[in-house]
Structure 1
Amino acid sequence: MLENADLGKLIVRLTLGGLMLFHGISKLINGTGFIEGLLAGHGIPAFFAYGVFIGELLAPLMVILGYHTRIGALLIVFNMLVAIALVHTHELMRLSSNGGWALELQGFFLFVALALVFLGPGRYKMKS
C-alpha cells in the first residue's frame, strides 16, 4: 500500500531541487562577489563564479521538473564538490556545536544528488 517508488523519487527531487534553488535565488539577488573572491584567491578567473547559476538555479529546476534529471543532478554534484573544495575543506572532519557533521547540508545536497543520478526521475516528470 505504501510502496510507491515513483512518489518517493518525486519527493526527493522536490526536496533537493527546492532547497538548492533557495541558494541560487540568494546569489541571483545578492550577486556572486563572495564566490568571485574565492576563485580569485585560488588563481581561477572570477567569471567562473557565474557557473553557480547553472548549479544552483538551472540544475535544481531540471531536477524539480524531472527534465533531464540525471544531468541536473550531476550538475548539482559538481557544484557541491566545487563548493566543498573552495569553502569547506577544513570542515570535512569537523563536528558542529550540536554534534552533527559540520557539512551536513553540503553532504545532503551532494549525496542526494548523486542518488538521483542513479535513480532517475521516476514516473512523475516533465515530458521531454
Structure 2
Amino acid sequence: MLDNADLGKLIIRLTLGGLMLFHGIAKLIHGVGFIEGQLAGLGIPAIFAYGVFIGELLAPLMVILGYQTRIGALLIAFNMLVAIALVHGHELLALGSSGGWALELQGFFLFTAIALVFLGPGRYKLKN
C-alpha cells in the first residue's frame, strides 16, 4: 500500500532534482563563463565557478535517487544562496513583470531544498 507522505516526498524530490538538473545540464553544455566573471569581479578565483556542477548536477541526482538526500538538498540550498548573492541580490524585494516575486524560481529551489533537509527522502529511495 502506498504511503501518502512518502509519495509526497518522492514527488518533491523528483520535482526539485529534475528541475535543478536542467540548469546543471545547460551549464555543462554552455559553460560557466558567466559565473567565472561574477566571481572574478568579486576577487574570488574563477575556478570556484566549477562548484556549480556540484550544486546543479551531483546534488540533484542525489535528491532524485534518494541517496544522501539531506546532503544533496543542503548542497542545492547552498548553491541557491550563492546564486542569489552573486546574481540576484538586487531583486530580493522586487516584483516580476507578472506581479509575482522576482525570485520565485530561486525561492522555490531554495525553500524546497530546505524542506527536504528536514523531511528526508521518504521510503522510495536507494538504500543508503
In 2, Cα distance between the equivalents of 1:14 and 1:59? 12
SS in structure 1 at match of 2:121: coil
Moved over 6 A (4+): none
What is the one-letter code of the residue matched to 2:100?
A: G
In 1, Cα distance between the equivalents of 2:111 and 2:13? 13
1:40-119 to structure 2, matched below 5 A, reads: 40-119=40-119
Q: Aligned residues, how many? A: 128
What is the one-letter code of the residue matched to 1:15?
A: T
Normalised to the residue count of structure 1, the TM-score between the two structures is: 0.98
Identical residues among aligned pairs (%)? 85
Shift of 1:2: 8.9
What is the one-letter code of the residue matched to 1:74?
A: L
What is the one-letter code of the residue matched to 2:36?
A: E
In 2, Cα distance between the equivalents of 1:2 and 1:66? 17
In 2, Cα distance between the equivalents of 1:118 and 1:127? 19
In 2, Cα distance between the equivalents of 1:72 and 1:120? 10
Residues 107, 46 of structure 1: CA spacing in aligned structure 2 closer, same or farther, 3 A cutoff? same
SS in structure 1 at match of 2:86: helix
Q: Which runs of 5+ in 1 are unaligned?
A: none
Q: Which runs of 5+ in 2 are unaligned?
A: none
SS in structure 2 at match of 1:100: coil
Deviation digits for residues 86-114 of structure 1, max 9, x if unmatched?
Answer: 00000000000110000000000000000
